[in-house]
Amino acid sequence: MNDPDALARLAASVENLERRVSALERSHETASHPALPAVPAAAPPVGEAFRFAEAGGVFPVVGKAMLGIAGAYLLRAVAESGSFPKLAIVVLALAYAGTWLVWAARVPATAHFASTVYATTAALIFGPMLWELTLRFDVLTSSVTACILFLFVVCAYALAWKRSLTPIIWVANVAAVITSLALYIATHDLVPFTSALLVMALASEVAAGRNHWLGLRPLMAAAADFAIWSLLYIYSRPEGIPSEYKSVAAPLLLALSCTLFLIYGASIAFRTMQLRQKIRIFEIGQAVITFLLAALSMLRFGASAGVPILGGLCLLFSAACYGAAYAYFDRYHEERNYHVYATWSGALLLAGSALCLPRLPLAWCLSVAAIMAMFLGVRASRLTLEFHGLAYLAAAAYVSGLLDYAGRTLVGTFPAMRGWTSTVWIVAAAAVACYAVGGRCRAERWDQRLLQVLSAILAVAAMITFLVSVLVWLALGMTAGASEVAVIRTLITCMVALALAFSGSRWQRSELVWIAYGTLALVTAKLLFEDLQQGHPASTAVSIFLYAVVLILVPRMAHVARRPRREVPPKAMAIKAEQGTSEIVKGC
Protein backbone atom coordinates (compact mmCIF):
# COMPACT_ATOMS: atom_id res chain seq x y z
CA MET A 1 0.00 0.00 0.00
CA ASN A 2 2.98 2.21 0.62
CA ASP A 3 4.30 1.61 -2.84
CA PRO A 4 5.45 4.99 -4.21
CA ASP A 5 4.78 3.94 -7.79
CA ALA A 6 1.16 3.20 -6.99
CA LEU A 7 0.72 6.64 -5.40
CA ALA A 8 2.23 8.35 -8.44
CA ARG A 9 -0.08 6.52 -10.81
CA LEU A 10 -3.08 7.44 -8.66
CA ALA A 11 -2.11 11.14 -8.66
CA ALA A 12 -1.69 11.12 -12.41
CA SER A 13 -5.11 9.52 -12.86
CA VAL A 14 -6.74 12.17 -10.66
CA GLU A 15 -5.09 14.99 -12.61
CA ASN A 16 -6.19 13.44 -15.88
CA LEU A 17 -9.75 13.15 -14.56
CA GLU A 18 -9.73 16.81 -13.46
CA ARG A 19 -8.58 17.94 -16.92
CA ARG A 20 -11.38 15.98 -18.59
CA VAL A 21 -14.02 17.47 -16.27
CA SER A 22 -12.73 21.01 -16.95
CA ALA A 23 -12.79 20.33 -20.68
CA LEU A 24 -16.38 19.08 -20.50
CA GLU A 25 -17.49 22.20 -18.56
CA ARG A 26 -15.88 24.51 -21.10
CA SER A 27 -17.51 22.67 -24.00
CA HIS A 28 -20.94 22.98 -22.29
CA GLU A 29 -20.57 26.76 -21.90
CA THR A 30 -19.52 27.10 -25.52
CA ALA A 31 -22.56 25.08 -26.69
CA SER A 32 -24.96 27.25 -24.66
CA HIS A 33 -23.41 30.55 -25.99
CA PRO A 34 -22.01 29.80 -29.40
CA ALA A 35 -19.64 32.45 -30.81
CA LEU A 36 -19.45 33.24 -34.48
CA PRO A 37 -16.14 32.32 -35.90
CA ALA A 38 -14.08 35.23 -37.10
CA VAL A 39 -13.98 34.89 -40.84
CA PRO A 40 -11.62 37.17 -42.65
CA ALA A 41 -13.29 39.63 -45.05
CA ALA A 42 -13.18 38.26 -48.50
CA ALA A 43 -12.16 40.58 -51.29
CA PRO A 44 -14.93 41.33 -53.78
CA PRO A 45 -14.78 39.18 -56.83
CA VAL A 46 -13.54 40.66 -60.00
CA GLY A 47 -17.02 40.38 -61.59
CA GLU A 48 -18.55 42.52 -58.81
CA ALA A 49 -15.93 45.24 -59.21
CA PHE A 50 -16.52 45.38 -62.97
CA ARG A 51 -20.24 44.81 -63.18
CA PHE A 52 -20.46 47.30 -66.03
CA ALA A 53 -18.49 44.81 -68.12
CA GLU A 54 -21.25 42.19 -67.88
CA ALA A 55 -23.87 41.50 -70.53
CA GLY A 56 -26.09 44.47 -69.54
CA GLY A 57 -23.30 46.90 -68.61
CA VAL A 58 -21.82 49.93 -70.30
CA PHE A 59 -19.21 48.31 -72.49
CA PRO A 60 -21.46 45.71 -74.15
CA VAL A 61 -24.20 48.28 -74.74
CA VAL A 62 -21.77 50.70 -76.36
CA GLY A 63 -20.29 47.85 -78.36
CA LYS A 64 -23.70 46.92 -79.73
CA ALA A 65 -24.35 50.54 -80.61
CA MET A 66 -21.06 50.70 -82.51
CA LEU A 67 -22.08 47.59 -84.41
CA GLY A 68 -25.26 49.43 -85.36
CA ILE A 69 -23.26 52.42 -86.65
CA ALA A 70 -21.07 50.04 -88.62
CA GLY A 71 -24.17 48.56 -90.22
CA ALA A 72 -25.32 52.04 -91.20
CA TYR A 73 -22.01 52.72 -92.93
CA LEU A 74 -22.35 49.40 -94.72
CA LEU A 75 -25.74 50.45 -96.05
CA ARG A 76 -24.24 53.76 -97.20
CA ALA A 77 -21.50 51.92 -99.05
CA VAL A 78 -24.07 49.70 -100.74
CA ALA A 79 -26.05 52.78 -101.78
CA GLU A 80 -22.93 54.40 -103.26
CA SER A 81 -22.03 51.28 -105.18
CA GLY A 82 -25.33 51.24 -107.06
CA SER A 83 -25.62 47.46 -106.75
CA PHE A 84 -29.17 47.60 -105.48
CA PRO A 85 -32.14 49.79 -106.43
CA LYS A 86 -32.25 53.02 -104.49
CA LEU A 87 -35.80 52.43 -103.36
CA ALA A 88 -34.79 49.14 -101.80
CA ILE A 89 -31.92 50.85 -99.99
CA VAL A 90 -34.36 53.45 -98.65
CA VAL A 91 -36.73 50.80 -97.32
CA LEU A 92 -33.87 48.81 -95.82
CA ALA A 93 -32.35 51.88 -94.14
CA LEU A 94 -35.67 52.96 -92.65
CA ALA A 95 -36.33 49.45 -91.37
CA TYR A 96 -32.82 49.31 -89.92
CA ALA A 97 -33.25 52.59 -88.00
CA GLY A 98 -36.72 51.54 -86.87
CA THR A 99 -35.33 48.25 -85.57
CA TRP A 100 -32.98 50.08 -83.24
CA LEU A 101 -35.83 52.28 -82.05
CA VAL A 102 -37.95 49.19 -81.30
CA TRP A 103 -35.00 47.59 -79.52
CA ALA A 104 -34.68 50.74 -77.35
CA ALA A 105 -38.33 50.34 -76.34
CA ARG A 106 -38.03 46.62 -75.52
CA VAL A 107 -35.25 46.83 -72.95
CA PRO A 108 -36.31 46.70 -69.26
CA ALA A 109 -37.81 49.93 -67.97
CA THR A 110 -35.00 50.32 -65.42
CA ALA A 111 -32.26 50.09 -68.07
CA HIS A 112 -32.27 53.81 -68.86
CA PHE A 113 -28.72 53.82 -70.17
CA ALA A 114 -29.30 51.02 -72.65
CA SER A 115 -32.59 52.56 -73.83
CA THR A 116 -30.92 55.94 -74.33
CA VAL A 117 -27.96 54.47 -76.21
CA TYR A 118 -30.12 52.38 -78.55
CA ALA A 119 -32.47 55.30 -79.23
CA THR A 120 -29.44 57.52 -79.92
CA THR A 121 -28.13 54.88 -82.30
CA ALA A 122 -31.44 54.93 -84.17
CA ALA A 123 -31.30 58.73 -84.35
CA LEU A 124 -27.67 58.72 -85.56
CA ILE A 125 -28.67 56.31 -88.29
CA PHE A 126 -31.92 58.07 -89.16
CA GLY A 127 -30.84 61.73 -89.39
CA PRO A 128 -27.73 61.43 -91.60
CA MET A 129 -29.49 58.81 -93.74
CA LEU A 130 -32.32 61.25 -94.54
CA TRP A 131 -29.78 64.02 -95.25
CA GLU A 132 -27.91 61.81 -97.73
CA LEU A 133 -31.03 60.47 -99.42
CA THR A 134 -32.53 63.97 -99.79
CA LEU A 135 -29.54 66.11 -100.74
CA ARG A 136 -26.86 63.80 -102.14
CA PHE A 137 -28.63 60.88 -103.77
CA ASP A 138 -31.83 62.79 -104.68
CA VAL A 139 -33.93 59.78 -103.82
CA LEU A 140 -36.42 61.50 -101.52
CA THR A 141 -38.22 64.78 -102.12
CA SER A 142 -38.60 67.36 -99.37
CA SER A 143 -42.25 66.43 -98.84
CA VAL A 144 -41.48 62.72 -98.47
CA THR A 145 -38.61 63.45 -96.10
CA ALA A 146 -40.85 65.65 -93.96
CA CYS A 147 -43.45 62.88 -93.78
CA ILE A 148 -40.80 60.36 -92.74
CA LEU A 149 -39.59 62.72 -90.03
CA PHE A 150 -42.92 63.15 -88.29
CA LEU A 151 -43.72 59.44 -88.76
CA PHE A 152 -40.48 58.67 -86.93
CA VAL A 153 -41.63 60.90 -84.04
CA VAL A 154 -45.11 59.38 -84.03
CA CYS A 155 -43.62 55.88 -83.87
CA ALA A 156 -41.47 56.95 -80.94
CA TYR A 157 -44.58 58.18 -79.10
CA ALA A 158 -46.37 54.92 -79.84
CA LEU A 159 -43.47 52.81 -78.56
CA ALA A 160 -42.82 54.88 -75.44
CA TRP A 161 -46.38 55.72 -74.41
CA LYS A 162 -47.34 52.61 -72.45
CA ARG A 163 -44.28 52.52 -70.20
CA SER A 164 -43.55 56.28 -70.38
CA LEU A 165 -40.04 55.81 -71.74
CA THR A 166 -38.71 59.35 -71.52
CA PRO A 167 -35.28 58.74 -73.17
CA ILE A 168 -36.86 57.49 -76.38
CA ILE A 169 -39.16 60.49 -76.67
CA TRP A 170 -36.44 63.04 -76.01
CA VAL A 171 -33.91 61.47 -78.37
CA ALA A 172 -36.45 61.00 -81.18
CA ASN A 173 -37.83 64.54 -80.93
CA VAL A 174 -34.45 66.24 -80.63
CA ALA A 175 -33.12 64.29 -83.61
CA ALA A 176 -36.22 65.04 -85.68
CA VAL A 177 -36.11 68.76 -84.83
CA ILE A 178 -32.41 69.10 -85.66
CA THR A 179 -32.81 67.19 -88.93
CA SER A 180 -35.90 69.20 -89.91
CA LEU A 181 -34.23 72.55 -89.25
CA ALA A 182 -31.05 71.49 -91.06
CA LEU A 183 -33.00 70.41 -94.15
CA TYR A 184 -35.22 73.51 -93.78
CA ILE A 185 -32.14 75.66 -94.27
CA ALA A 186 -30.28 73.48 -96.78
CA THR A 187 -33.10 72.69 -99.23
CA HIS A 188 -34.74 76.18 -99.28
CA ASP A 189 -38.03 74.29 -99.39
CA LEU A 190 -39.65 75.68 -96.26
CA VAL A 191 -43.25 74.55 -96.36
CA PRO A 192 -42.78 70.74 -95.96
CA PHE A 193 -40.43 70.97 -93.00
CA THR A 194 -42.51 73.71 -91.38
CA SER A 195 -45.50 71.38 -91.66
CA ALA A 196 -43.46 68.56 -90.10
CA LEU A 197 -42.50 70.77 -87.16
CA LEU A 198 -46.14 71.77 -86.67
CA VAL A 199 -47.17 68.11 -86.54
CA MET A 200 -44.41 67.41 -84.00
CA ALA A 201 -45.60 70.36 -81.90
CA LEU A 202 -49.15 69.02 -82.09
CA ALA A 203 -47.96 65.60 -80.93
CA SER A 204 -46.15 67.12 -77.95
CA GLU A 205 -49.27 69.12 -76.98
CA VAL A 206 -51.47 66.02 -77.25
CA ALA A 207 -49.06 64.20 -74.96
CA ALA A 208 -49.04 67.18 -72.58
CA GLY A 209 -52.83 66.97 -72.42
CA ARG A 210 -52.29 63.61 -70.70
CA ASN A 211 -49.47 65.06 -68.55
CA HIS A 212 -46.76 63.23 -70.49
CA TRP A 213 -43.33 64.79 -71.12
CA LEU A 214 -44.24 68.38 -70.28
CA GLY A 215 -40.59 69.43 -70.37
CA LEU A 216 -40.46 68.72 -74.11
CA ARG A 217 -42.98 71.45 -74.98
CA PRO A 218 -40.63 74.47 -74.97
CA LEU A 219 -38.25 72.75 -77.42
CA MET A 220 -41.00 71.92 -79.89
CA ALA A 221 -42.59 75.36 -79.52
CA ALA A 222 -39.30 77.16 -80.14
CA ALA A 223 -38.62 75.12 -83.29
CA ALA A 224 -42.12 75.74 -84.68
CA ASP A 225 -41.96 79.46 -83.84
CA PHE A 226 -38.62 79.81 -85.60
CA ALA A 227 -39.90 78.04 -88.69
CA ILE A 228 -43.02 80.23 -88.94
CA TRP A 229 -41.08 83.43 -88.25
CA SER A 230 -38.50 82.58 -90.92
CA LEU A 231 -41.30 81.78 -93.35
CA LEU A 232 -42.99 85.14 -92.75
CA TYR A 233 -39.71 87.05 -92.94
CA ILE A 234 -38.59 85.51 -96.22
CA TYR A 235 -41.92 85.76 -98.03
CA SER A 236 -42.80 89.26 -96.82
CA ARG A 237 -39.55 91.05 -97.68
CA PRO A 238 -40.12 94.38 -99.45
CA GLU A 239 -37.41 93.58 -102.01
CA GLY A 240 -39.08 90.31 -102.93
CA ILE A 241 -38.49 86.59 -102.43
CA PRO A 242 -34.90 85.37 -102.97
CA SER A 243 -34.44 83.39 -106.17
CA GLU A 244 -33.36 80.16 -104.44
CA TYR A 245 -36.67 79.83 -102.58
CA LYS A 246 -39.75 78.30 -104.11
CA SER A 247 -42.86 80.38 -104.59
CA VAL A 248 -45.63 79.70 -102.07
CA ALA A 249 -49.26 80.80 -102.28
CA ALA A 250 -50.37 83.39 -99.74
CA PRO A 251 -53.30 81.30 -98.40
CA LEU A 252 -50.89 78.47 -97.58
CA LEU A 253 -48.61 80.81 -95.65
CA LEU A 254 -51.59 82.20 -93.80
CA ALA A 255 -52.85 78.70 -92.99
CA LEU A 256 -49.50 77.61 -91.52
CA SER A 257 -49.29 80.64 -89.21
CA CYS A 258 -52.89 80.27 -88.04
CA THR A 259 -52.39 76.53 -87.48
CA LEU A 260 -49.56 77.24 -85.03
CA PHE A 261 -51.81 79.61 -83.08
CA LEU A 262 -54.70 77.16 -83.07
CA ILE A 263 -52.49 74.32 -81.79
CA TYR A 264 -51.29 76.20 -78.75
CA GLY A 265 -54.49 78.16 -78.20
CA ALA A 266 -56.56 74.99 -78.06
CA SER A 267 -53.99 73.24 -75.88
CA ILE A 268 -53.86 76.09 -73.36
CA ALA A 269 -57.65 76.37 -73.23
CA PHE A 270 -57.98 72.59 -72.68
CA ARG A 271 -55.37 72.46 -69.94
CA THR A 272 -56.67 75.50 -68.05
CA MET A 273 -60.42 74.95 -68.43
CA GLN A 274 -60.89 71.21 -68.83
CA LEU A 275 -58.00 69.95 -66.69
CA ARG A 276 -58.26 72.93 -64.27
CA GLN A 277 -54.49 73.45 -64.25
CA LYS A 278 -52.70 76.70 -63.52
CA ILE A 279 -51.41 78.37 -66.65
CA ARG A 280 -47.63 78.29 -66.96
CA ILE A 281 -45.25 81.11 -67.82
CA PHE A 282 -44.27 79.21 -70.95
CA GLU A 283 -47.89 78.99 -72.05
CA ILE A 284 -48.47 82.71 -71.51
CA GLY A 285 -45.47 83.64 -73.63
CA GLN A 286 -46.20 81.06 -76.31
CA ALA A 287 -49.80 82.22 -76.66
CA VAL A 288 -48.65 85.80 -77.20
CA ILE A 289 -45.94 84.79 -79.70
CA THR A 290 -48.21 82.58 -81.79
CA PHE A 291 -50.97 85.20 -81.83
CA LEU A 292 -48.55 87.89 -83.02
CA LEU A 293 -47.21 85.60 -85.75
CA ALA A 294 -50.75 84.79 -86.90
CA ALA A 295 -51.73 88.48 -86.80
CA LEU A 296 -48.68 89.52 -88.85
CA SER A 297 -49.41 86.79 -91.34
CA MET A 298 -53.03 87.89 -91.69
CA LEU A 299 -52.06 91.54 -92.13
CA ARG A 300 -49.40 90.66 -94.71
CA PHE A 301 -51.06 87.86 -96.69
CA GLY A 302 -54.76 88.47 -96.00
CA ALA A 303 -55.13 91.10 -98.76
CA SER A 304 -57.72 93.83 -98.23
CA ALA A 305 -59.96 91.65 -96.06
CA GLY A 306 -57.17 90.79 -93.63
CA VAL A 307 -57.54 93.86 -91.41
CA PRO A 308 -61.30 93.69 -90.72
CA ILE A 309 -61.20 89.91 -90.35
CA LEU A 310 -58.37 90.17 -87.83
CA GLY A 311 -60.27 92.89 -85.97
CA GLY A 312 -63.41 90.77 -85.80
CA LEU A 313 -61.43 87.77 -84.56
CA CYS A 314 -59.81 89.92 -81.87
CA LEU A 315 -63.21 91.06 -80.64
CA LEU A 316 -64.48 87.47 -80.71
CA PHE A 317 -61.48 86.19 -78.74
CA SER A 318 -61.87 89.11 -76.33
CA ALA A 319 -65.45 88.12 -75.57
CA ALA A 320 -64.38 84.48 -75.11
CA CYS A 321 -61.56 85.45 -72.73
CA TYR A 322 -63.87 87.73 -70.74
CA GLY A 323 -66.38 84.91 -70.45
CA ALA A 324 -63.70 82.43 -69.32
CA ALA A 325 -62.25 84.88 -66.79
CA TYR A 326 -65.46 86.05 -65.13
CA ALA A 327 -67.80 83.10 -65.66
CA TYR A 328 -65.34 80.27 -65.03
CA PHE A 329 -62.03 81.15 -63.35
CA ASP A 330 -63.56 83.74 -61.04
CA ARG A 331 -66.10 81.18 -59.86
CA TYR A 332 -63.41 78.62 -58.97
CA HIS A 333 -61.01 81.23 -57.52
CA GLU A 334 -58.19 80.44 -59.94
CA GLU A 335 -56.36 83.72 -59.57
CA ARG A 336 -53.54 83.38 -62.10
CA ASN A 337 -55.80 82.07 -64.86
CA TYR A 338 -58.33 84.79 -64.07
CA HIS A 339 -55.79 87.61 -64.34
CA VAL A 340 -54.13 86.23 -67.47
CA TYR A 341 -57.38 85.73 -69.37
CA ALA A 342 -58.70 89.11 -68.22
CA THR A 343 -55.54 90.84 -69.43
CA TRP A 344 -55.76 89.08 -72.78
CA SER A 345 -59.40 90.11 -73.14
CA GLY A 346 -58.61 93.79 -72.52
CA ALA A 347 -55.71 93.82 -74.97
CA LEU A 348 -57.76 92.02 -77.62
CA LEU A 349 -60.64 94.45 -77.21
CA LEU A 350 -58.33 97.41 -77.79
CA ALA A 351 -56.69 95.76 -80.81
CA GLY A 352 -59.97 94.63 -82.35
CA SER A 353 -61.62 98.02 -81.90
CA ALA A 354 -58.64 99.81 -83.45
CA LEU A 355 -58.70 97.50 -86.47
CA CYS A 356 -62.46 97.61 -87.07
CA LEU A 357 -63.53 101.20 -86.34
CA PRO A 358 -62.56 104.62 -87.73
CA ARG A 359 -60.98 107.18 -85.45
CA LEU A 360 -63.98 109.10 -84.14
CA PRO A 361 -66.33 106.12 -83.63
CA LEU A 362 -63.42 104.34 -81.98
CA ALA A 363 -63.06 107.15 -79.44
CA TRP A 364 -66.79 107.09 -78.69
CA CYS A 365 -66.90 103.31 -78.30
CA LEU A 366 -63.84 103.25 -76.07
CA SER A 367 -65.35 105.98 -73.89
CA VAL A 368 -68.55 103.99 -73.46
CA ALA A 369 -66.54 100.82 -72.79
CA ALA A 370 -64.51 102.67 -70.16
CA ILE A 371 -67.60 103.83 -68.28
CA MET A 372 -69.21 100.39 -68.48
CA ALA A 373 -66.06 98.60 -67.33
CA MET A 374 -65.65 101.01 -64.43
CA PHE A 375 -69.30 100.62 -63.41
CA LEU A 376 -69.26 96.82 -63.63
CA GLY A 377 -65.94 96.66 -61.81
CA VAL A 378 -67.27 98.73 -58.92
CA ARG A 379 -70.51 96.78 -58.78
CA ALA A 380 -68.81 93.37 -58.87
CA SER A 381 -65.81 94.49 -56.74
CA ARG A 382 -63.37 93.55 -59.50
CA LEU A 383 -60.38 95.86 -59.57
CA THR A 384 -59.08 94.26 -62.77
CA LEU A 385 -62.15 95.40 -64.64
CA GLU A 386 -61.72 98.91 -63.28
CA PHE A 387 -58.14 98.99 -64.58
CA HIS A 388 -59.50 97.89 -67.95
CA GLY A 389 -61.84 100.85 -67.88
CA LEU A 390 -58.90 103.14 -67.17
CA ALA A 391 -56.96 101.62 -70.08
CA TYR A 392 -59.92 102.10 -72.43
CA LEU A 393 -60.23 105.71 -71.28
CA ALA A 394 -56.53 106.40 -71.89
CA ALA A 395 -56.81 104.86 -75.36
CA ALA A 396 -59.88 106.98 -76.11
CA ALA A 397 -58.01 110.11 -74.98
CA TYR A 398 -55.13 109.29 -77.30
CA VAL A 399 -57.29 108.40 -80.30
CA SER A 400 -59.55 111.43 -79.97
CA GLY A 401 -56.61 113.82 -79.65
CA LEU A 402 -57.50 114.86 -76.11
CA LEU A 403 -53.96 114.24 -74.86
CA ASP A 404 -52.45 116.37 -77.62
CA TYR A 405 -55.05 119.08 -77.16
CA ALA A 406 -54.57 119.16 -73.37
CA GLY A 407 -50.82 119.47 -73.75
CA ARG A 408 -51.13 122.37 -76.17
CA THR A 409 -53.77 124.02 -74.01
CA LEU A 410 -51.69 123.95 -70.84
CA VAL A 411 -48.22 124.46 -72.33
CA GLY A 412 -46.95 126.34 -75.37
CA THR A 413 -48.96 127.83 -78.19
CA PHE A 414 -52.68 127.74 -77.52
CA PRO A 415 -54.51 125.62 -80.15
CA ALA A 416 -57.10 127.09 -82.44
CA MET A 417 -60.67 125.94 -82.01
CA ARG A 418 -60.89 124.98 -85.65
CA GLY A 419 -59.95 121.36 -86.25
CA TRP A 420 -61.12 120.10 -82.86
CA THR A 421 -64.46 118.31 -82.73
CA SER A 422 -66.88 117.47 -79.99
CA THR A 423 -65.20 114.06 -79.64
CA VAL A 424 -62.53 115.65 -77.46
CA TRP A 425 -65.13 116.92 -75.01
CA ILE A 426 -67.03 113.63 -75.07
CA VAL A 427 -63.88 111.83 -73.97
CA ALA A 428 -63.20 114.52 -71.36
CA ALA A 429 -66.70 114.04 -69.96
CA ALA A 430 -66.10 110.29 -69.93
CA ALA A 431 -62.92 110.84 -67.89
CA VAL A 432 -64.86 112.79 -65.27
CA ALA A 433 -67.64 110.18 -65.27
CA CYS A 434 -65.17 107.33 -64.79
CA TYR A 435 -63.68 108.99 -61.72
CA ALA A 436 -67.15 109.76 -60.39
CA VAL A 437 -68.09 106.09 -60.74
CA GLY A 438 -64.83 104.57 -59.54
CA GLY A 439 -64.14 107.08 -56.79
CA ARG A 440 -67.13 106.02 -54.71
CA CYS A 441 -65.26 103.11 -53.16
CA ARG A 442 -62.76 103.62 -50.39
CA ALA A 443 -59.19 102.75 -51.32
CA GLU A 444 -57.57 100.47 -48.77
CA ARG A 445 -54.85 98.69 -50.80
CA TRP A 446 -52.06 100.24 -52.83
CA ASP A 447 -53.50 99.04 -56.14
CA GLN A 448 -56.86 100.63 -55.33
CA ARG A 449 -55.12 103.90 -54.49
CA LEU A 450 -53.13 103.72 -57.71
CA LEU A 451 -56.32 103.22 -59.72
CA GLN A 452 -58.02 106.20 -58.11
CA VAL A 453 -54.96 108.42 -58.51
CA LEU A 454 -54.63 107.65 -62.24
CA SER A 455 -58.35 108.07 -62.82
CA ALA A 456 -58.36 111.35 -60.92
CA ILE A 457 -55.37 112.65 -62.92
CA LEU A 458 -57.22 112.07 -66.20
CA ALA A 459 -60.38 113.71 -64.84
CA VAL A 460 -58.53 116.74 -63.44
CA ALA A 461 -56.53 117.22 -66.65
CA ALA A 462 -59.76 117.13 -68.66
CA MET A 463 -61.40 119.69 -66.36
CA ILE A 464 -58.43 122.08 -66.47
CA THR A 465 -58.28 121.79 -70.27
CA PHE A 466 -61.99 122.53 -70.58
CA LEU A 467 -61.91 125.51 -68.19
CA VAL A 468 -58.84 127.09 -69.78
CA SER A 469 -60.26 126.65 -73.29
CA VAL A 470 -63.64 128.12 -72.39
CA LEU A 471 -62.16 131.11 -70.57
CA VAL A 472 -59.68 131.88 -73.35
CA TRP A 473 -62.35 131.66 -76.05
CA LEU A 474 -64.86 133.74 -74.08
CA ALA A 475 -62.52 136.42 -72.78
CA LEU A 476 -59.99 136.81 -75.56
CA GLY A 477 -61.37 135.07 -78.63
CA MET A 478 -59.15 133.73 -81.37
CA THR A 479 -56.58 136.56 -81.06
CA ALA A 480 -55.37 135.76 -77.56
CA GLY A 481 -51.83 136.84 -76.79
CA ALA A 482 -49.24 134.67 -75.09
CA SER A 483 -49.13 136.76 -71.90
CA GLU A 484 -52.92 136.76 -71.48
CA VAL A 485 -53.11 133.02 -72.07
CA ALA A 486 -50.37 132.49 -69.49
CA VAL A 487 -52.32 134.41 -66.85
CA ILE A 488 -55.49 132.46 -67.60
CA ARG A 489 -53.60 129.17 -67.35
CA THR A 490 -52.17 130.18 -63.98
CA LEU A 491 -55.55 131.36 -62.71
CA ILE A 492 -57.41 128.18 -63.66
CA THR A 493 -54.66 125.89 -62.39
CA CYS A 494 -54.50 127.67 -59.04
CA MET A 495 -58.28 127.58 -58.63
CA VAL A 496 -58.33 123.86 -59.41
CA ALA A 497 -55.54 123.25 -56.88
CA LEU A 498 -57.56 125.00 -54.16
CA ALA A 499 -60.69 123.06 -55.08
CA LEU A 500 -58.81 119.77 -55.03
CA ALA A 501 -57.24 120.46 -51.64
CA PHE A 502 -60.57 121.41 -50.08
CA SER A 503 -62.65 118.61 -51.59
CA GLY A 504 -59.98 115.97 -50.95
CA SER A 505 -59.78 116.85 -47.28
CA ARG A 506 -63.51 117.41 -46.89
CA TRP A 507 -64.52 113.99 -48.25
CA GLN A 508 -61.39 112.12 -47.21
CA ARG A 509 -60.05 111.71 -50.76
CA SER A 510 -56.31 111.57 -50.32
CA GLU A 511 -55.72 111.24 -54.08
CA LEU A 512 -57.23 114.68 -54.65
CA VAL A 513 -54.92 116.21 -52.06
CA TRP A 514 -51.91 114.58 -53.74
CA ILE A 515 -53.01 115.90 -57.12
CA ALA A 516 -53.48 119.37 -55.60
CA TYR A 517 -49.83 119.47 -54.56
CA GLY A 518 -48.87 118.02 -57.94
CA THR A 519 -50.78 120.85 -59.58
CA LEU A 520 -48.75 123.33 -57.52
CA ALA A 521 -45.58 121.71 -58.84
CA LEU A 522 -46.95 122.15 -62.38
CA VAL A 523 -47.61 125.87 -61.70
CA THR A 524 -44.06 126.23 -60.38
CA ALA A 525 -42.59 124.78 -63.58
CA LYS A 526 -44.92 126.95 -65.65
CA LEU A 527 -43.73 130.13 -63.93
CA LEU A 528 -40.09 129.23 -64.45
CA PHE A 529 -40.24 128.14 -68.08
CA GLU A 530 -43.12 130.20 -69.50
CA ASP A 531 -44.11 133.30 -67.51
CA LEU A 532 -40.63 134.49 -66.50
CA GLN A 533 -39.19 133.91 -69.96
CA GLN A 534 -41.99 134.84 -72.34
CA GLY A 535 -44.59 136.77 -70.36
CA HIS A 536 -45.22 140.52 -70.04
CA PRO A 537 -44.08 142.06 -66.70
CA ALA A 538 -47.67 142.83 -65.71
CA SER A 539 -48.95 139.35 -66.53
CA THR A 540 -45.94 137.82 -64.81
CA ALA A 541 -46.69 139.81 -61.68
CA VAL A 542 -50.30 138.59 -61.69
CA SER A 543 -49.20 134.98 -62.15
CA ILE A 544 -46.68 135.21 -59.31
CA PHE A 545 -49.34 136.81 -57.07
CA LEU A 546 -51.81 134.00 -57.78
CA TYR A 547 -49.11 131.40 -57.20
CA ALA A 548 -48.15 132.93 -53.84
CA VAL A 549 -51.76 133.07 -52.69
CA VAL A 550 -52.30 129.42 -53.57
CA LEU A 551 -49.10 128.38 -51.76
CA ILE A 552 -50.51 129.96 -48.63
CA LEU A 553 -54.11 128.81 -48.96
CA VAL A 554 -53.76 125.16 -50.07
CA PRO A 555 -52.41 123.85 -46.72
CA ARG A 556 -54.84 126.01 -44.75
CA MET A 557 -57.76 124.98 -46.95
CA ALA A 558 -57.02 121.35 -46.27
CA HIS A 559 -56.76 122.03 -42.52
CA VAL A 560 -59.99 124.08 -42.38
CA ALA A 561 -61.86 121.49 -44.39
CA ARG A 562 -61.08 118.81 -41.87
CA ARG A 563 -62.28 120.73 -38.82
CA PRO A 564 -66.04 120.30 -39.22
CA ARG A 565 -65.66 116.55 -39.54
CA ARG A 566 -63.87 116.38 -36.18
CA GLU A 567 -66.40 118.64 -34.46
CA VAL A 568 -69.57 116.92 -35.69
CA PRO A 569 -69.34 113.66 -33.71
CA PRO A 570 -69.08 115.36 -30.24
CA LYS A 571 -72.01 117.66 -31.00
CA ALA A 572 -74.06 114.79 -32.25
CA MET A 573 -73.21 112.78 -29.14
CA ALA A 574 -74.15 115.74 -26.87
CA ILE A 575 -77.49 116.19 -28.65
CA LYS A 576 -78.23 112.48 -28.34
CA ALA A 577 -77.25 112.56 -24.66
CA GLU A 578 -79.59 115.50 -24.00
CA GLN A 579 -82.42 113.77 -25.85
CA GLY A 580 -81.81 110.61 -23.88
CA THR A 581 -81.81 112.51 -20.56
CA SER A 582 -85.07 114.28 -21.34
CA GLU A 583 -86.69 110.99 -22.28
CA ILE A 584 -85.56 109.47 -18.99
CA VAL A 585 -86.97 112.43 -17.02
CA LYS A 586 -90.28 112.17 -18.86
CA GLY A 587 -90.41 108.47 -18.16
CA CYS A 588 -89.87 109.05 -14.46
One pLDDT digit (tens) per residue for the chain, 588 residues: 445 565 566 566 656 666 765 665 555 555 555 544 444 444 445 444 444 444 456 888 888 888 888 888 887 787 777 777 878 888 888 899 999 999 999 888 778 888 899 999 999 999 998 998 899 888 899 999 999 999 999 999 999 998 889 999 999 999 999 999 999 999 999 999 999 999 999 999 999 999 899 999 999 999 999 999 999 999 998 888 888 888 899 999 999 999 999 999 999 999 999 999 999 999 999 999 999 999 999 999 988 888 999 999 999 999 999 999 988 898 888 889 999 999 999 999 999 999 999 988 999 999 999 999 999 988 888 889 999 999 999 999 999 888 888 888 888 777 765 545 678 888 999 999 998 888 766 667 778 888 888 888 999 999 988 888 888 877 765 555 677 788 888 889 899 999 988 888 777 788 888 888 888 888 888 888 877 776 678 878 888 888 898 888 888 776 654 444 444 455 444 454 455 445 433 443
Quote the pLDDT of residue 8: 62
Read off the DSSP letter of residue 34.
-
586: which DSSP letter?
H
pLDDT of residue 558: 63
For the chain, counts of helices (H) and of strands (E): 22, 0
Q: How many angstroms separate the CA atoms of 503 and 517, rounded?
A: 13
CA-closest candidate to residue 459, choices 513, 397, 504: 397
Q: How high is the pLDDT of residue 287?
A: 97
Rounded to two decimals, what is the model's pTM? 0.78
Residue type, 105: A
The beta strands (E) that lie in 113-240 are given as none
Nearest residue to 346 (alpha-carbon basis) of 373, 328, 371, 381: 373
Q: How far is CA 118 from CA 57, 68, 130, 168, 396, in A?
A: 13, 9, 18, 9, 62
Supply the pLDDT for residue 157. 95
What are the DSSP calls for 71-135, one per residue? Answer: HHHHHHHHHHHT-S-HHHHHHHHHHHHHHHHHHHHHS-TT-HHHHHHHHHHHHHHHHHHHHIIII
The whole-number pLDDT of residue 583 equals 45
**Confidence at residue 7, expressed as pLDDT on a 0 to 100 scale:** 52
Q: Looking at residue 290, what is its pLDDT?
A: 97
The pLDDT assigned to 506 comes to: 79
Q: With the CA atoms of 296, 297, 299 and 303 taken in that order, what torsion angle do they form, in degrees rounded to the nearest 10?
A: 170
| Angstrom distance (rounded) from CA 200 to CA 182 | 16
Query: What letter would DSSP give residue 305?
Result: G
